[in-house]
A and B are shown apart, each in its own frame.
Chain A
Amino acid sequence: MKIFLTRLNACGFFAAAGFWSLVALYLIALCADLLIPYPYDLQMRDRAFHPPIRIHIMEKGQVRIPFVYQSTLIDPVGKKYQEDTSQRYPIRLFAQGVERKMFGFWKTDRYLFGVSEPAGIHLLGTDMYGRDIFSRIVCGGRISLSISLIGVILSFSFGMLTGGISGYFGGVIDQIMMRATEILMVFPSFYLMLSLRAIFPLSLSSVQIYLLIVVILSFIGWAGLARIIRGMVLSIREEEYVLAARSVGVSHWRILFFHILPNTFSYAITAVTLAVPGYIVGEAALSLLGIGIQEPYPSWGNILASTVGNLRILSDAPWMLLPGLAIFFVLVNFNLLGDALRSVFDPKNW
C-alpha cells in the first residue's frame, strides 16, 4: 500500500489529485444519507422548478450567519420565484426536518444542515416535483458509482477467468471463446446494450433493474478484456518459469492462478480504471433514456432524463443539467488516475 502511494505521488500532482478526489467521491456516495438536507423523494410541489437558492451573508451592511430568504411563487405558469426579504432563515446544522430512515434502518429527523420551513435550502434547485436536486445528485451518485464499480469488477473477473483459461489451455475452448468474443464485439455496444435491455420487460422492480443493468454492462465489457488477457497469457505461458513449474509437477490451475494471471494484474488495474468511465456513461445513458434506474430512485442519468426532448424544461430549468457536470468531474478523475497508472506500469518508464 505504501509503495502504491509513493508511486502515485511520483506521478505528479494531477494523478494524486485524481486519486484522492475519487476517494472523496466514493466516501460521499457511501455517506450520502448523512450529507443531504432533504430526502431524495420528498416532493415539495409548491417549490417546483425552483432555481438554486441564494445564500446571503450580509444584510443591510452587517455580516450575519449565512441565511436564505423564503421564496414566493409569483408566476405559476412560468415558474418564477421571488425572494421575500422580510425574514431571515439562518442555516442551521443538524436541523430538524421530515422523518426518514437513514441507511434504511436508522430513524431520525435530523439532517446535517437545513433551514426552518417555509424557506428551503435548495443548493442546486428543485425539479418538476419540487424535489431537492442536490440531495438527488448526492444519492444518485451512490447508484452511478456503485453500479459502474460492480459492473467493472464482474466484467474483469469473468474476463480474466475466461481469458486465462482460453489462453492457457488453448484448443477447442480457445477457438470457441475467440469466436464468441468476436461476434460480441461486432455489434456496436450501445446497440447491443439497448437490445439486451429490450429482452426484459420495461418495468421491473428497482432491485431487479439494478442487477439487470450491472449484468448487461458487464456482459458488454467482458469480451474485449478477455481477448487481451488471453493474448497476454499466451505469451506468458511460454516463459521459462512456467515450464519450470510444470516440470516440478505444479498443477495447471495453480500455475494459471498463481503464476500467470498475477502477471496480468498491472495491465488489468490500468484497464479497470480506464474502463469505469464507460460503465458510468452506460448506466447514465440507460437511465437517461428511461430504461435504466426508474423513478423515484435518483440516478445521474435519470435526473437528466426530464430535460431530454423537453425543450421547455431544458431552457427554463438548466440547473437540472448539473448531474452531467458531476459525471464529467468523475470521468476526469478516473482518466487522470488511469493515465498515471498507465505510465507507472509502462515498461518504458522503468
Chain B
Amino acid sequence: MKRLIAKRLIHLLPVLLGMSLAAFFIIQAAPGDFFSQMALNPEISPETISLMKQEFGLDKPVAVQYLYWLKNLALGNLGISFSYHLPVTTLIRFRLLNTLSLAFFSMMLSWLIALPLGVFAGYRERSISDRLSSAFAYLSISMPSFFLALLCVYLASKTTFIPIGGTRSVFDIDAGLWSRFVDYFKHLLLPGLVLAFVNIGWLFRLMRNNFIEAYGSPYIRAAWAKGLPVPQIIFRHAFKNALNPMFTILGLEIGSLLNGAALVEIVTNWPGMGSLMLDAVLSQDLYLVMGSLIIGGVLLIAGNLIGDLLLMANDPRIRLS
C-alpha cells in the first residue's frame, strides 16, 4: 500500500510542474507589460516594484522568468497583490479557511442526506418513495446555485434571524470562543445550505444506482441463502459495496465543491477564495489570480489523493494486487 501511495505522489510531480507552467503562461499571455502598469500606479512604492523585479526576475528573458517563478512557487512565494498591497499567500490564507469550512460543511450535510436517501430509494426501487425522492433529485441537479442563493438571501432578508454575508456579526469583541464559533456557524448556514442542496441531487442518484447494482449482485443472493439477518445483508454487504465507488467521488468532489462554493460565496457575500478570485479578476490583479488558481489546483489534487487513499482502504482488491 505504501508503494501505491509513493507511486501516486511521484506521478503528481509532472502534473504540478505542468500546472505551474500553465499558470505562468497565462500570466505571460495577459496583454500589457506589468512593469509599466505597476510603475504608473501611485499606490505601489518603488521599493515594492524593485522587490518584485528581484524576486520574479521581471526584467529577464521569459525562460529565466519561469525558473524564478518555479523557485518562488516551491518557496511558497506567490507574489504580491497589486490591489491589496499584501503578499498573495497572506490573502489566500485568510480566505482559504472560509472556503474550506463552507465546502466541508456542505459536503457533510449533502452526504448525510443523500447517502441514506439513496440506499432507501434503491432498496424500495420503483416505489412511490423512490419516485418522489428521484423527482426531488431532479430539482436539485437542475437548480442553478446562484439562483437558489439569491432566492435564499431574499427570503432571509425578510426575516431577522438569519444573517446574510460576512462571517461575523458586529458585537462584543471579548465574546468567548464558543459564542464566536456559534456566530460563525450561523453565518455559514445560508451559503452552506444552498451549496448542500445543489449537490444532494447527483449524490443521491449515484448512491441509489450503486446500491441497486450492489443489491442485485450474486453475493447478496448468497447472503440470503446463508440465512444472514436482513439488516446485515443490507447494511453490511450491499451498502459497503455500494459505498465503494463513492470514495473516488469523494476525492473528485473537492473540485466541484470549490467551483460551486466560489459562485455561492460571491452571491452570498461569504469571504472565501471565490470572492477573492473575483476581486482579483475585476482589478486585473494577476498574481493574485494566479495564486488562487494554483491553490485551487493543489486542493483538487489533494482531494483526489485522499479519495484514492480512502478507496484503497475500503477495497481490498485495489489494496492487495
Contact = CB atoms under 8 A, between A and B. Distances in A.
Contacts of A184: 22
A191 B300 CA distance: 12
A206 B19 CA distance: 32
- Residue from A200, A289, A307 with most neighbouring chain B CB atoms (10 Å): A289
Query: Which interface class (under 10, 10 to 19, 20 to 34, 35 or more) fits A?
Result: 35 or more
Given A182-B18, A318-B154, A324-B151, A194 B277 contact: yes
B150 A324 contact: yes
Contacts of B144: 281, 284, 324, 327-328, 331
B150 A308 contact: yes
Nearest to A307: B150
A202 interface: yes
A56 to B, nearest CB: 27
- Residue from A195, A318, A324 with most neighbouring chain B CB atoms (10 Å): A195
B154 A277 contact: no
A21 B143 CA distance: 17
B18 A321 contact: no
Interface string A182-212: 1110111111101111111110000000000
Contacts of A147: none
A19 to B, nearest CB: 16
Contacts of B269: 309
B290 interface: yes
A311 B226 CA distance: 62
A202 to B, nearest CB: 7
Given A179-B18, A189-B259, A194 B147 contact: no
Given A201-B31, A308-B267, A321-B150, A187 B282 contact: no
Interface in A145-191: 179-180, 182-184, 186-191
Contact of B297 (A188, A198, A315, A328): A188
Given A194-B281, A314-B157, A304 B150 contact: yes
Contacts of A304: 146-147, 150
B286 interface: yes
Interface in A281-338: 281, 284-285, 288-291, 304, 307-309, 311, 314-315, 318, 321, 324-325, 327-328, 331-332, 335-336
Interface in B261-285: 262-263, 266-267, 269, 273-274, 277-278, 280-282, 284
A321 B151 contact: yes
Contact of B289 (A186, A198, A285, A321): A198
Contacts of B154: 314-315, 318, 321
Nearest to B157: A315
Given A189-B259, A192-B293, A304-B150, A328 B142 contact: yes
Contacts of A318: 154
Nearest to B290: A195
B142 A332 contact: yes
Contact of A195 (B142, B143, B164, B293): B293
B163 interface: no
- Residue from B158, B259, B299 with most neighbouring chain A CB atoms (10 Å): B259
Contacts of A194: 277-278, 281, 289
Nearest to A336: B138
B151 A291 contact: no
A201 B15 CA distance: 29
B109 interface: no
Nearest to B304: A186
A311 B157 contact: yes
A311 B153 contact: yes
Given A324-B150, A328-B142, A198 B281 contact: yes
Contacts of B15: 182-183, 186
A188 B19 contact: no
Contacts of A311: 153, 157, 164
A192 B19 CA distance: 12
B87 interface: no
B26 A199 contact: yes
A200 B282 CA distance: 11
Contacts of A289: 266, 278
B114 to A, nearest CB: 17
Contact of B300 (A187, A196, A325): A187
B157 A186 contact: no
Interface string B183-216: 0000000000000000000000000000000000
B163 to A, nearest CB: 12
B258 interface: yes
A191 B30 contact: no
B251 interface: no
Contacts of A182: 15, 18
Contacts of B138: 332, 335-336
A289 B281 CA distance: 10
Given A195-B293, A199-B30, A321-B150, 9 more contacts: A183-B15, A186-B301, A188-B299, A308-B266, A311-B153, A315-B158, A328-B143, A331-B141, A332-B142
22 contacts: A179-B14, A183-B21, A186-B297, A187-B22, A188-B259, A188-B300, A190-B263, A190-B274, A191-B292, A194-B277, A195-B277, A199-B30, A288-B146, A304-B147, A308-B266, A311-B153, A314-B157, A315-B157, A318-B154, A321-B151, A328-B142, A336-B138
